Structure 1
Amino acid sequence: MSFLSDINPILFLGCSVLLAFYIGQGARFFRLPMIIGYLVTGIVLGPSMLNLLDHKTLEGLSFIIDIGLGIVAFSIGTELDFASLKRLGFGIVSVILAESFGAFLLVFLSVYLFSQDLVLSILFASIAPASAPAGTVAVIKEYKAKGPMTKALYAVVGFDDALGVIIFGFALTFAKAVLVSRVAGEGALITFEVWEPLAEIALSIAAGAVAGWFFIRLAEKLGENGKMFILVFATVLLLSGLSLQFHGSLILTNMMAGIILTNLSHPYMIQKVRLAIDTVLPLIFVLFFLVAGLHVEIWLLPSIGLLGTVYIAGRSFGLVGGAYLGSAIGGMEKKIRNYLGFGILSQAGLAIGLGFMAKNELAKLAEEYQIADAAAIGTAILITITATSVLFELVGPVATKFALKKAGEIETSQKKG
């Protein structure tokens, strides 16, 4: 039971946001990104430690994470103009492919050598490419980073989630077929839906593109920036709600709307939108990482064990090595080759969501086909991914700052913070 089970959620948010803000300021004293302070505040106030909120109230705050992620995704889209991406060239495509499949392959091999279980290995591998764009973008914004590395990070953390969803969809289909073949025989013909991840991505892109076009038409009639943010906020709410309602990609839908805006509208309008978003992003980041911290179950960390350690090592080396290889193949400059992989280590919401999906699908399979180990595999995946995400969410922002600093894209005045 929570310590303050009947506390007013608004009162709690007011106190905790103020506390998180100053703890975030304190984090800079230790040369850490402020979002580490926000996250730690949530962890301390949440069920992991002080347990100030009951489960129902805590779940009632989950919508803040969805809204925050939607605004971050829209913000990423506004930074992805085709002219900048064209200057990055084929390299950005090769990076996204190489880091995603690098993480997939290395985690698969590592987990398989450790467990000798094909299903466990393929599912862990398929979750590995998923990143957490909010952490990366928060660090970029905090330190006012600019340059080719920053542009590359925006593109990678936006698009690798889309690729990750597709990889997971096909991997889950394969894993289910393998499990069923164990009880039905090698010759059994079992059909599962493989088009769902592709349909999810296609519909998300289409919805975001249409919304972006309508946004431009409406934005042309607005005046000051205050009104502009109302339009941005309403668009993000609408697209995020539609994505959740119809199981689309919240990140990709909002990001696509931002991409359409930044590539089809006047530079003056784009600047007004960016200014409106940047004005409120500091508050969004405090709320987002505070609530994310409230949902962290820090007590899961000891449960990482050898399997979790293998996953962490495989994913980290896969992302860093894949980003290096992709950058080299794409002819990108040395600083991007050497440090881009460190900027994409964060992992949280999407990975845990995929873990839940794997657990639920395998539980259904276990009941339908009487497969004894299917449910156990799903549970092991969810627990391990949740526990390792805590670590990645704490280490990821620090690694992103390291990458940007090494690339020389943090403003001189910001390096002291």
Structure 2
Amino acid sequence: MEILLIGVLLLSGLAVGSLGSHLLGVPRVAGYILLGMLFAPDLLGGHLGMESTDWTQPLVSVALGIIAYVIGGAISPGQLRRLGWSIVGATLGEVSGAFLAVLGGVLLLGMTVADLPLWSFALVLAAVAPATAPAAIVAVVHQYRARGQLTTTLLGMVAIDDALGIFIFALVLALVGSGSIGSALGTAFWEIGVALLVGGMGGFLIERLSRRFHEQSMLLPMLLGGIFLTVGLAEWAEFSALLAAMVLGFSVRWFCGPHAERLFEPVEDLEETVFVLFFTFAGLHFDPSAVIDYWPLMLVYFVARAVGLFVGGGSGARLAGASRPVWSNVGFGLFPQGGVAIGLALLLLHYPGFSKAGEVIVNLITTTTLLTEAVGAISVRYGLRRAGELGLEQAGGEAK
């Protein structure tokens, strides 16, 4: 039944995404997500015998690994040197802005779940808020062939943003739980440090192996094997798979230099298939009951996070000396939220004192994530268009 559903999701997702792009001018990813929501277990999926979405997890992990590899390779060492301070400044601004805005918004609302202390609940939600979704950003960049300083800045921010998010989340759990700051820092250093090491070593090995494969048809299985191995090791050893795959892509670009493009073209040919699967699967997690029960909390989280990201990201980029097209538009590219935020929320299910509240928080974050992915994809396109970086539109290509 799962294979049948995958076929239905692929074909209907492509149809809805393309129609939305041509008729309404929205990115295809928004259509993919909405189609997935329609097939959630509580809606059409239940009539097809789908009782849960657990079976999608391996495919989601692989898809996110491929997307992260492409992100890592999208930034060359030269671009990083030129835009380094802009990327760091914008990232620090958006992380602190989202954290403080959501913390203040939830405290003002005064709503908590499962008898959790309000301050603890507000801190946990605020710690999840800074994480952004690389997949939605890459999907829009891919569809419209965006190029420029804003595009490079957004792609560079994703990796730093997620690394900082892991640190903040670990520290918050130590503050509100029974853990210590020392153990929280140790966990965060482990996740980030090992991810950097594994990704870097993997990139070096792929570069060496690529010298032995002269046929282009042999590169795709080699690259997929490297990505799968990196993601699998991360899940087994419990470090950040997303960060490791990003570093894998960046290190391949670093080690291969001017010849690196041949190690990205085979994977980029798979991108649209990966996007359809990833975003329709994300939509399958839609839970209507969570929207009904906690809509005020979701609304506050969504609005406060958006304001914090926009103000913080733009201010940080401006203070770091970024150009006007970057600092005035970078906030539009930060709204999407996805796998990292959901992954952090899932950790709460196994954390002392959060088991009861964990289920509610996971559903809240998952449902809000679907909204940020769909609306965020449109927002990313708007920001890139304002900055004049939508190459496909400027060339008079596909429908806007």
- The reply to whether TM is greater than 0.5 is yes
> Which residue of 84, 102, 105 corresponds with 2:79?
84
How far 1:299 sits from its partner (Å)?
4.1
Unaligned runs of 5+ in 1: 1-6, 181-188, 366-373
Q: Which of 31, 56, 61 is matched with 2:56 structurally?
A: 61
Q: Deviations over 1:223-268 (max 9, x none)?
A: 2332211111111110111111111111100111111111121312
Structure 2 residue 379 is the aligned partner of structure 1 residue 388: no
Structure 1 window deviating more from structure 2 (326-335 vs 306-315): it is 306-315
Q: Show the counterpart of 1:312.
A: 302
Distance change in 2, residues 1:335/1:198 (3 Å): same
SS in 2 for 1:89: helix
Deviation at 1:349, TM superposition (A): 2.1
| The structure with more radius of gyration | 1
Of the three residues 245, 248, 256, the one matched with 1:257 is 248
Q: Indicate how the Cα distance of structure 1 residues 336 and 22 shifts in structure 2: closer, same or farther if over 3 A, else same.
A: same
Who is 1:338 aligned against? 328
More displaced stretch, 27-36 vs 348-357: 348-357
- Give RMSD over aligned pairs: 2.0
Please name the residue that 2:385 is paired with.
405
Which position in structure 1 is the counterpart of 2:151?
150
CA contact (8 A) 2:282 2:370 kept: no
SS in 2 for 1:347: coil
Aligned 8 A contact 2:41 2:51 in 1? no
Pairs aligned (count): 389
Q: Which residue of 1 aligns with 2:271?
A: 281
For structure 2, which runs of at least 5 residues remain unmatched after alignment?
111-116
- Do the aligned residues in 1 keep the contact of 2:203 with 2:249 (CA within 8 Å)? yes
Task: Report Cα offsets for 1:190-229 as digits up to 9, x if no partner.
Answer: 9854411121110111111111110100011212332211
For residues 194 and 158 of structure 1, the distance between their equivalents in structure 2, rounded to whole angstroms, comes to 19
The alpha-carbon distance between structure 1 residues 298 and 403, as it changes in their structure 2 partners (threshold 3 A), is farther
How many Å separate the matches in 1 of 2:15 and 2:44? 19
More deviation, 56-65/318-327: 56-65
Measured in 1, the distance between the counterparts of 2:128 and 2:40 equals: 26
Q: Report the alpha carbon displacement of residue 123 of structure 1 after superposing the two structures with TM.
A: 0.8
Please give the residue correspondences for 1:5-404 in structure 2 after superposition, counting only pairs within 5 Å. 7=1, 9-28=2-21, 29-51=23-45, 52-55=47-50, 58-115=53-110, 117-177=118-178, 193-268=184-259, 270-361=260-351, 364-365=352-353, 375=355, 377-404=357-384
Letter in 1 for 2:202: A
The 1:318/1:57 distance shift into structure 2, 3 A limit, reads closer
Secondary structure at the residue paired with 2:214? coil
CA distance in 1, matches of 2:55, 2:41: 15
Q: CA deviation at 1:380?
A: 4.2
> Which region of structure 1 is more displaced relative to structure 2, 307-316 or 237-246?
307-316
Q: Does the CA contact (< 8 Å) of 2:29 and 2:374 recur in 1? A: no
Does the CA contact (< 8 Å) of 1:38 and 1:286 recur in 2?
yes
1:183 is aligned to none
CA distance in 2, matches of 1:356, 1:166: 16
String of CA shifts for 1:240-297, please: whole Å, max 9, x gaps.
Answer: 11111111111100111111111121312x1112211221111111111122222222
**Alpha-carbon displacement from aligned partner over 1:32-76 (angstroms, at most 9, x marks no partner):** 111122222222123142124445674223211111100010001
Does the 8 Å contact 1:303/1:384 carry over to 2?
no
How far apart are 1:315 and its partner, in Å?
Answer: 0.8
Q: TM-score, normalised by structure 2?
A: 0.92
Structure 1 pair 414–119 and aligned structure 2 pair: CA distance change class (3 A):
farther
Amino acid at match of 2:92: L
Q: Is contact 2:285-2:367 (8 Å) kept?
A: no
CA distance in 2, matches of 1:175, 1:321: 27
Distance in 2 (alpha carbons) for counterparts of 1:196 and 1:352: 18
Q: Which residue of 1 aligns with 2:113?
A: none
CA gap 1:88/1:191 in 2 versus in 1, 3 angstroms = closer
CA distance 1:221–1:124, change in 2 (3 Å): same
- Deviation, 1:114, is 2.7
Using the size of structure 1 for normalisation, the TM-score is 0.88
Amino acid at match of 2:227: V
Shift of the 57–298 alpha-carbon distance from structure 1 to 2, 3 Å rule, reads closer
Residue 416 (structure 1) aligned with residue 399 (structure 2): yes
Of the structure 1 ranges 110-119 and 37-46, higher mean CA displacement relative to structure 2 is found in 110-119
Name the SS for the 2:264 alignment partner.
helix
**CA pair 169-16 structure 1, distance change in 2 beyond 3 A:** same
Aligned counterparts of 1:301 and 1:223: Cα–Cα separation in 2: 53
Moved over 4 A (4+): 189-193, 374-377
Amino acid at match of 1:387: T
The DSSP-based 3-state class of the residue aligned with 1:292 is helix
Corresponding letter in the other structure for 2:301: Y
Distance 1:379 1:13, change over 3 A: closer
Partners of 2:390 and 2:123 lie apart in 1 by 38
Q: Distance in 2 between matches of 1:310 and 1:355?
A: 18
Per the TM alignment, residue 152 of structure 1 is displaced from its structure 2 partner at its CA by 0.7
